[in-house]
Structure 1
Amino acid sequence: MNERTEKVADFITAYNTKLARSTAVNVSQVYSLANGQPLSLPYFSSTVHAGFENPANDHIEEEIDPNGYLIDDPNATILIRVKGDSMIEAEIFEDDILIVNRKRRARAGDIVVAELDGGFTVKYLGKHCLIPANKKYPVIKFQDMQELRLIGVVTGKMKRF
């Protein structure tokens, strides 16, 4: 193991320890991905209509592995459960599970998970701020001496009904 790899491993260990101890602002739980077998589910080529059923739309086009569809890089991905309503206009609601890529470079306009002064939040990344998707919350402007670290870019979400 080279020096850079050791530093990355040390950072990940320290980061995971910190996550286990921290309290969340808008994010209540962080999940690691399990390295399991691929899961394939049937994917129907037909669309779902809110009107009358089309009897010809019942064949399977292919099978899709939800992990492969939702997750670009399993080694760089974490799952985070949302708490709060600051991103509802981006259709991110309480108890949704966000798929977060820790390696993807964040750009202005991306939805990111950030650690801000010891708490976690999910917001749009602005040029010098974090922007909520709910008008009842203020924009968070970056301040001097404020501790801010981007955890990753949100690449998707999962929701149960």
Structure 2
Amino acid sequence: MNSIIGKPIAAPPTTALAFFDATVAAGFPSPAADYIQNTIDLHERLVHHPAATFFVRVAGDSMVDTGIVDGSILVVDASRNAQSGDIVVAIIDGKYTVKRLRLVAGQCELHAENARANYPPLRPSEDLQIFGVVTSHIVEHVRLPGSSRAKKRSSSAP
């Protein structure tokens, strides 16, 4: 992981966005309502403790089996107590990493989740620090190269 994107700040004014209160089929299409039934506030949905919430960009592929891919943005709550089974941002030897926290025989282990790679569990010494618990992640979907309508991403995009 490269860096923390932002420091906690006072909750900014929020904007309610259109929300279709229906599911979208990922298989064959089904008829759907063509009107907006509700709104959703992403800040309210993703940021439960504004003073302790950070956003971190992921670099690497060790957590792809959880849906966290290279470039994902993690929503990290530093106020939550990490428990075995949580995905956490940890600090080991001054470097940030995202892994699944497991307690094995009373010892903390950090596990990658990528079946295509053979990442061994990390068994850090006493200098393991849990920065926070990952509560959500954001993946930006872009058009695949080679599409006739592919657009270049703006340089101001995260």
TM-score normalised to structure 1 length: 0.76
Measure, in 2, the Cα distance between the counterparts of 1:138 and 1:72.
Answer: 33
* Runs of 5+ unmatched residues, structure 2: 142-158
The question of 1:28 aligning with 2:28 is answered no
Structure 1 counterpart of 2:124, from 111, 123, 142 = 142
Aligned-pair CA distance for 1:52: 3.5
* RMSD over equivalenced CA pairs, Å: 1.6
Q: Which residue of 1 aligns with 2:46?
A: 70
Sequence identity (%): 35
* Runs of 5+ unmatched residues, structure 1: 1-26
| Cα shift readout 1:121-149 (whole Å, capped 9, x = no counterpart) | 00011112111112421100133xx4211
**Alignment: residue pair count:** 132
The answer to which structure has the higher strand fraction is: 1
Measure, in 1, the Cα distance between the counterparts of 2:73 and 2:82.
Answer: 19
- Contact kept, 8 Å, 1:46 with 1:58, in 2: the verdict is no
- What stretches of structure 1 move > 6 A for 4+ residues in a row? none
| Cα shift readout 1:75-101 (whole Å, capped 9, x = no counterpart) | 110000000111111111000000000
Q: Which residue of 2 aligns with 1:51?
A: 28
Q: Which residue of 2 aligns with 1:41?
A: 17
1:10-25 paired onto structure 2 within 5 Å: none
Measure, in 2, the Cα distance between the counterparts of 1:57 and 1:105.
Answer: 41
Q: Name the amino acid aligned to 2:60.
A: G
The answer to which structure has the higher helix fraction is: 1
Measure, in 2, the Cα distance between the counterparts of 1:147 and 1:130.
Answer: 13
| Cα shift readout 1:24-53 (whole Å, capped 9, x = no counterpart) | xxx112122554211210111222234345
Q: Is the deviation greater in 109-118 or in 37-46?
A: 37-46
Q: Which residue of 2 aligns with 1:82?
A: 58
- Contact kept, 8 Å, 1:78 with 1:101, in 2: the verdict is yes
